[in-house]
């Protein structure tokens, strides 16, 4: 198993642990606002107008008004901290961009107004083969193969010069200016933001788990408020 593969495995393990703790914490907050008169679980179907139904409404409000805002604020802090780090100009992110979408799918998404796809297709073109992509970042391609992740398309930017400079730096799109804006992206060791990613990873995993968990709760409570 490559170093990159094992670090991704460790990340998954860490995520599972953080996820379990976050479930407990969110459930605790739900229980804290549970009226004493209510018997039952937050996912139960209570009759309209009952205390149980009001509790569920209060929980949904807590998700939207409190927890979502806390997550957003924390993500902003994570991104603001990124400003303390700098791109080292290794050009890996210009030389190898991966997507679960094929060139045709990205083109379609761009035509349908997807802003990210529009920017992406304005600069990136597909590699002719996986072998070409492998030359840029062999460890990463190996890790995808080890994980049997076959549905990945590899792209590169032709605006990159032979000496790894952006030939259109002033006009580069926002996705280039913002990279890496997802702290959970896999970054090469040469990336100037690698340390940022490592430092904020536990917080990011926790925020990510909160988002997943409240989404689950919302889906399973909102169904009682649809009529």
Q: Which one of 92-100, 129-137, 147-155, 210-218 is the stretch in contact with ligand SF4 (CB under 6 A)?
A: 92-100
Q: How far is the CB of 175 from ligand SF4 (least distance, A)?
A: 8
Under rule CB under 6 A, which residues in 187-206 are in contact with ligand SF4? 188, 190-193
- Is 71 or 136 the residue whose CB approaches ligand SF4 more closely? 136
Q: Reduced to 3 states, what is the DSSP secondary structure of residue 92?
A: helix
State how beta strands 153-156 and 125-126 pair: antiparallel
Half-sphere exposure of residue 71, counting CA atoms within 13 Å on the CB side?
20
Choice between 170 and 219, CB closer to ligand SF4? 170
Closest CB 208 distance from ligand SF4, rounded Å: 21
Q: How far is the CB of 179 from ligand SF4 (least distance, A)?
A: 5
88 lies in the binding site for ligand SF4 (CB under 6 A): yes
| Secondary structure of 136-172 in HEC code, one letter for each residue | HCHHHHHHHHHCCCCCCEEEECCCECCCCCECCHHHC
- Specify the residue, 23 or 166, whose C-beta has the smaller distance to ligand SF4: 166
DSSP, collapsed to helix, strand or coil, labels residue 49 as coil
Q: Is 168 in the site for ligand SF4 (CB under 6 A)?
A: yes
Give the integer Cα–Cα distance in Å for 202 and 103.
34
Helix spans in the chain (H): 3-32, 51-61, 68-82, 92-95, 103-111, 115-123, 130-136, 138-146, 174-178, 194-222
119 makes contact with ligand SF4 (CB under 6 A): no
Q: How many CA atoms lie within 13 A of 131 on its CB side?
A: 0
Least distance to ligand SF4, CB of residue 186, Å:
10
179 belongs to the binding site for ligand SF4 (CB under 6 A): yes
Sites for ligand SF4 among residues 51-80 (CB under 6 A): none
Nearest Cα to Cα of residue 11 among 164, 206, 149, 214: 206
Q: How far is the CB of 220 from ligand SF4 (least distance, A)?
A: 39
Contacts to ligand SF4 by CB under 6 A: 87-94, 123, 157, 159-160, 166, 168, 172, 176, 179, 188, 190-193
């Amino acid at each position: 198993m490559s170093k990159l593969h094992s670090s991704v495995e460790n990340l998954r393990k860490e995520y599972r642990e953080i996820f379990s703790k976050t479930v407990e914490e969110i459930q605790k907050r739900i229980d804290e606002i549970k009226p004493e008169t209510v018997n039952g679980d937050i996912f139960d179907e209570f009759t309209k107008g009952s205390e149980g139904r009001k509790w569920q409404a209060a929980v949904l409000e807590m998700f939207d008004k409190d927890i979502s805002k806390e997550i957003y604020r924390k993500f902003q802090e994570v991104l603001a901290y990124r400003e303390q780090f700098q791109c080292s100009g290794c050009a890996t992110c210009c030389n190898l961009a991966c997507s679960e979408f094929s060139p045709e799918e990205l083109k379609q998404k761009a035509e349908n107004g997807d802003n990210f796809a529009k920017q992406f297709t304005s600069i990136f073109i597909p590699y002719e083969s996986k072998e070409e992509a492998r030359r840029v970042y062999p460890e990463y391609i190996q890790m995808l193969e080890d994980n049997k992740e076959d549905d990945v398309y590899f792209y590169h930017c032709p605006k990159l010069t032979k000496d790894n400079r952006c030939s259109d730096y002033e006009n580069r799109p926002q996705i280039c200016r913002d990279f890496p804006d997802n702290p959970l992206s896999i970054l090469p060791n040469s990336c100037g933001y690698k340390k940022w990613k490592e430092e904020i990873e536990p917080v990011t995993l926790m925020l990510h788990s909160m988002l997943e968990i409240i989404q689950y709760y919302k889906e399973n409570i909102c169904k009682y408020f649809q009529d």
